[in-house]
């Protein structure tokens, strides 16, 4: 049993983060005594805080928006997950100095497979958006060897650049990019549609053709009241929908294992958070 281990989640905003609740539940499974804080930072205070935290014996940090790129840049050692995503959501001290990981994509894949019974391998997948959230999940999704993966983004060149870079790392996969306006011509082509952004939302309305999601499994990386795409997709005729709460719990479990070497069970805390977010919503 270890005592008094220090952890925190860094972000702006960060006051509504569920990470402290998740990690306290994980720690209880193994009898760890931990302190897990929320820390609001600004861009110029981020790196000094990180260095001071680890210098004082802190064990691990989670990083949320808007600091994932900065977290990656301030690390001395990078896991392949952080290297591929060019962003980090998990920091820990290693023999080489501060180390960076990105557990978002693997957390998503674990949630898809183990909670929703969806195997990405061999499937046709569409990701809406080409920003940082997509960068974080792209490598692990492609490592599953889907039949095809398409990126749709309002700015076509951004999706094309991301697809081109991903194709170099995963030459065995068929990766394409197109603009959101082209979705009208792609309806019914996908087994899974992942919404990685608020793109397509305007004044509370989803500005996408319903045919894109009809009879398709739709996954919204947002969760709770923010998962408007998931609610829209259900009404538009999706075969099933999920929000990103399971991904949040699964990526946290991977971070916990990086820090402490123990892989926690996730279902109990997931169920607790489902009830909590439903109540809050």
Q: Which residues are catalytic?
A: 68
SS3 assignment, position 11: strand
Are 236 and 210 within 8 A, CB to CB? yes
Are 125 and 192 within 8 A, CB to CB? yes
d(CA 250, CA 258) in angstroms, rounded, equals 13
- Each as own residue / partner, the long-range contacts of residues 82-88 (CB below 8 Å, 24 or more positions apart, any chain) are 84/138, 84/139, 84/169, 85/135, 85/136, 85/138, 85/139, 86/135, 87/132, 87/135, 87/136, 88/63
The secondary structure of 154-204, three-state, reads: CCHHHHHHHHHHHHHHCCCCCEEEEEHHHHHHCCCCCCEEEECCCCCEECC
Say how many Å lie between the first and final Cα of the chain, rounded: 37
What burial class does residue 94 get, using C-beta atoms within 10 Å of its C-beta: 0-12 exposed, 13-18 middle, 19+ buried?
Answer: middle
């Amino acid at each position: 049993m270890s005592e008094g281990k220090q952890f925190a989640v860094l972000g702006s905003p960060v006051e509504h983060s569920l990470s402290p609740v998740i990690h306290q539940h994980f720690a209880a499974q193994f009898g760890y005594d931990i302190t897990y804080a929320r820390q609001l930072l600004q861009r110029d205070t981020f790196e000094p805080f990180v260095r001071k935290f680890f210098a004082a014996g802190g064990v691990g940090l989670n990083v949320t928006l808007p600091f994932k790129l900065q977290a990656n840049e301030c690390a001395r050692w990078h896991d392949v997950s952080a290297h591929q995503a060019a962003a980090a959501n998990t920091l820990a001290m290693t023999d080489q100095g501060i180390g960076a990981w990105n557990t978002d994509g693997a957390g998503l894949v674990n949630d898809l497979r183990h909670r929703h019974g969806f195997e990405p391998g061999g499937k046709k997948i569409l990701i809406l958006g080409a920003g940082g959230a997509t960068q974080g999940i792209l490598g692990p999704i492609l490592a599953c060897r889907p039949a095809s993966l398409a990126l749709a983004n309002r700015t076509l060149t951004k999706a094309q650049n991301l697809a081109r870079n991903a194709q170099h790392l995963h030459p065995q996969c068929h990766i394409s990019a197109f603009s959101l306006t082209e979705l009208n011509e792609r309806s019914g082509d996908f087994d899974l549609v992942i919404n990685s952004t608020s793109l397509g939302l305007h004044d509370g309305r989803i500005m996408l053709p319903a045919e894109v999601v009809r009879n398709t499994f739709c996954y919204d990386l947002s969760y709770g009241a923010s998962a408007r795409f998931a609610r829209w997709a259900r009404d538009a005729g999706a075969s099933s929908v999920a929000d990103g709460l399971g991904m949040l719990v699964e990526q946290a479990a991977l971070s916990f294992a990086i820090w402490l070497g123990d892989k926690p069970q996730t279902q109990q805390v997931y169920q607790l958070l489902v009830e909590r977010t439903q109540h809050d919503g």
